[in-house]
Amino acid sequence: MNPSRPTSTWSVLRRLWPDVWRYRGRVGVALAFLVAAKLANVGVPLVMKELIDALDLAPRPLLVPLGLLLAYGALRLSTSLFQELRQIVFARVLARTSRNITLRVFEHLHALSLRFHLDRRTGGVARDVERGMGATSDLLDWTIYTILPTLFEIALVCSILIARFDWTFTAITLATLVAYIAFTFTVTEWRMRFYRAANTADTEANARAVDSLLNYETVKYFGNERHEFARYDASLVKYEEATVKSQKTLAVLNIGQSGIIALGLTALLWRAAVGVGAGTMTLGDFVLVNAFLLQLSIPLNYLGMVYRQVKQALINIERMFVLLDEAREVEDAPGAPPLAVHGGEVRFEHVDFAYDSARPILRDVDFRIPAGHTLAVVGTTGAGKSTLARLLFRFYDVSAGRITIDGQDIRAVGQASLRAAIGIVPQDTVLFNDTIYYNIAYGRPDASREEVIAAAKAAHIHGFIESLPHGYDTNVGERGLKLSGGEKQRVAIARTLLKRPALLVFDEATSALDTRTEKGIQAELAAIARGRTTLVIAHRLSTIVDADQILVLEHGRIVERGTHEQLLAEGGRYAQLWALQQRERAEASGAATVVEA
C-alpha cells in the first residue's frame, strides 16, 4: 500500500457523487442562485457602458438616466445577494457530505483488523482523517461552485465580446485564456509533489508527537527528552523543506499567471484604443472592454488558485480514501447468520496459527470445552495463551483447523454476534479517558446505575471508588493510567460482569492483584463462571485447581492435559511448576511471618 498513490480527480469526485446527488434539489437551487449572481456580475459593465454612452452622447449631459442608475445599483446588490443565498442553501450539503464521509472512515477503521491497528500509528491516522474531512467540503465547494460558474462566466463574456466587437477581441481573449489555463495546469501538476511531500511529513510528525506523548513516563524514566525532540524535529525539518519548496514554486506560478493576464489586457486595450480612435467604438465600449477583462481576470486568478486548492484537497482526500480502501482482513461471510448460542461448547480443532507466516505461534492446538465447563491454560510467557483468546474473538483467522462454538465455525457467523457472546478480562486493561462509571458501564451501556454499582461491588472495587473524592465520577486519565494495575483490572472485571456474556475468558485476570484481593475476587469469578463456558488463562496455578481441565501450553503446543490431580500425579511440567510456586509461596509467607514478628 502506497499512501501517496495519486488518485484522479474524477475517481474522487465519482466517490463523493452519491452524497451530493442525495441533495440534488439543494444543489440545483444553489446553482440557480449562482447563475443569477453571475448574470448580475456580467450585467454591471454592460449597464456601465450604457451609462457612459448616455452621458457622453446626450445633447444635455445634465439629464440623468435614472433608470440606468437604478439598474446599476440593483445589479451590484444582486451579485453578492445571490452569492450569499447560495452559500446558505449549500451549507447543509457540504456539512452533511463531509460528516457522512468522515463517519464512514471511522466505521471502516473499526472494521479493520487488529493487525492493521498494531501496524499503524494512531496520530498519523487521525491526521489523515482530519485533513480528509476538511478537504471533502472544500473540494465540493470549489468544483461545483467555483470552477463551473467561472467557466460559465467566461463563456458569457466571450459571447458578448463576439456579439458586439470584431473577432480580434474574441481571439485575444481566447488566446489569453488558453495560455493561462495551460500554464496553470502544467505548473500546478509539477508543484503537487511538494505539497504531497509536505503532507507525508506532517502526518509523520504528528504520529511521532502522539507516540512520544503517550510514552511520557518512559521518556522521563530514561531522560530521553532530547532524543524525542530530535526525532520530532527530524520530521519537522522535512515538513519545513517541503513547505518552503511549495511556497517558492507558488511564486513562480503567480508571476506567470499575472504576466499572461497583463499581456492579454494590454493587447485588448490596444485594440479598443485603436477602435475609439478610428471612431468604430464609443468611449463606453472602451470602458466595457476594460471592465470585462478586469472582471474576467479575477475569476481567472481564482481559477488558478482553486485548481491548486482542488489538487491539494484531492491529495488530502486520497489519503483518507487509502484508509477506506484498506481491505478488511477479517470479514463477515456474505449473509453470515448471527451466532446461535445454546450452552456454549467451544472447540479448537487442530488449530495452527501464525501472526507472521515465518513464525508459527500455535501448532495443532486441539481441545474442547463442554458447555458450562471451565478450561484452564497455563504455560510460560510467550507460549501463545493470549493468542487463543484473540483467535476466539476472531481478531485473526486461523491458518489451519477451525474454531467452533456450539458446532458453528466462527468464520461462518457474524462477528458482532460472536463478540457479543464472549466476555473477556484481558491481560492488559486499557481504559477510556473518562470516568470510572463510564468505563464500567461500557460493558453494557444501557445498564442502570444500580447494576453498575452491583458489578463494581462484585469486582471488589466499589469500596475503593467510594473512597475517592469524586467517587464514580473520577476520571481515569489517558488509557486509564491514573489507576493502578490492580484497580484497572478490577474495573475490567466489573465491566465484564456487567456484560453477562454466554462465554467468558479470563486472561491472567487477577495477575496484577495481591494474593488476598485475588482470593476475594476469585470467589466472585467462580460464581459468575458457574454454568458458563469459561477459558481461564492463569499465571498462578493456585487459582485454577478447580478447573475441569487444564492444558499446559509450551511453544504453541499442548504438552499436557488433565485435571489438577491427574497432572500432579503425572509428575511432568505442571507438577514442576506447581512445586516451584508452592515453594515461592511458602517463602513469601515465611517472610511475612518474620516481618510481623
For ligand ADP, give the closer residue by CB, 356 or 450: 356
Site string for Mg ion, 393-432 (x = CB under 5 A): ----------------------------------x-----
Residue 358 contacts which entry, Mg ion, ligand ADP, none (Cβ below 5-8 A, type-dependent): none
- Looking at the DSSP bridge assignments, the partners of residue 400 are 352
- Looking at the DSSP bridge assignments, the partners of residue 369 are 346
For ligand ADP, give the closer residue by CB, 241 or 554: 554
Closest CA to 296 of 187, 179, 171, 176: 176
b/e for 185-211, b at 16 or more Cβ within 10 A?
Answer: eebbeebbbbbbbbbbbbbbbbbbbbb
Residue 543 DSSP code = G
For ligand ADP, give the closer residue by CB, 382 or 477: 382
123-131, 290-298, 312-320, 380-388 -> range binding Mg ion (CB under 5 A):
380-388
Question: How many Å apart are CA 183 and CA 173, to the nearest integer?
Answer: 15
Helix (H) or strand (E) holding 563: none
Cell triple for 234: 527530524
Site string for ligand ADP, 107-126 (x = CB under 6 A): -----------x--------
Question: How many Å apart are CA 302 and CA 196, to the nearest integer?
Answer: 22
For ligand ADP, give the closer residue by CB, 257 or 511: 511
Q: Does 440 bind ligand ADP (CB under 6 A)?
A: no
Question: How many Å apart are CA 405 and CA 422, to the nearest integer?
Answer: 11
Residue 355 contacts which entry, ligand ADP, Mg ion, none (Cβ below 5-8 A, type-dependent): ligand ADP
505 contact partners, CB below 8 Å, separation of at least 6: 389, 392, 422, 423, 424, 425, 534, 535, 536, 537
> What single letter denotes the amino acid at residue 207?
A
Closest separation between CB of residue 582 and ligand ADP, Å?
22
Q: Does 489 bind Mg ion (CB under 5 A)?
A: no
3-state per-residue secondary structure call for 513-532? CCHHHHHHHHHHHHHHHCCC
Could you give the dihedral angle defined by the CA atoms of residues 561, 562, 567 and 569, in that order, rounded to the nearest 10 degrees? -130
Q: Does 429 bind ligand ADP (CB under 6 A)?
A: no
Question: How many Å apart are CA 40 and CA 37, to the nearest integer?
Answer: 5
For Mg ion, give the closer residue by CB, 68 or 513: 513
State the pairing for strand pair 503-507/346-356: unpaired
146-154, 198-206, 378-386, 575-583 -> range binding ligand ADP (CB under 6 A):
378-386
Site string for Mg ion, 451-480 (x = CB under 5 A): ------------------------------
11-19, 382-390, 412-420, 454-462 -> range binding ligand ADP (CB under 6 A):
382-390
Which of 387, 496, 511, 543 binds ligand ADP (CB under 6 A)? It is 387
Q: Residue holding cell 459468575?
A: 528
Given a contact cutoff of 8 angstroms between Cβ atoms, the answer to whether 351 and 377 are in contact is no
Which of 311, 385, 488, 499 binds ligand ADP (CB under 6 A)? It is 385
Closest separation between CB of residue 110 and ligand ADP, Å?
18
Closest separation between CB of residue 556 and Mg ion, Å?
13
DSSP string, 352-366: EEEEETTEEEEEEEE
DSSP string, 175-228: HHHHHHHHHHHHHHHHHHHHHHHHHHHHHHHHHHHHHHHHTHHHHHHTT-HHHH
Q: Three-state SS for 512?
A: coil
Which of 199, 212, 374, 386 binds Mg ion (CB under 5 A)? It is 386
Handedness of CA 189, 192, 194, 196 (dihedral sign): negative
Closest separation between CB of residue 384 and Mg ion, Å?
8
Q: Does 543 bind Mg ion (CB under 5 A)?
A: no
DSSP string, 335-348: TPPPP--SS--EEE
216 contact partners, CB below 8 Å, separation of at least 6: none
Closest separation between CB of residue 428 and ligand ADP, Å?
10
Closest separation between CB of residue 403 and ligand ADP, Å?
15
Site string for ligand ADP, 221-240 (x = CB under 6 A): --------------------
For ligand ADP, give the closer residue by CB, 379 or 486: 379
Looking at beta carbons, which residue is closest to Mg ion? 386
For Mg ion, give the closer residue by CB, 212 or 386: 386
40-48, 160-168, 300-308, 378-386 -> range binding Mg ion (CB under 5 A):
378-386
Dmax (CA) for the chain in angstroms is 126
Closest separation between CB of residue 333 and ligand ADP, Å?
24
483 contact partners, CB below 8 Å, separation of at least 6: 431, 476, 477, 491
Which of the residues 342 through 361 are near ligand ADP (CB under 6 A)? 355-356, 361
Closest separation between CB of residue 539 and Mg ion, Å?
9
Applying CB under 5 A, the residues found at the interface with Mg ion are 385-386, 427
- Which residues form the interface with ligand ADP (CB under 6 A)? 118, 355-356, 361, 379, 381-387
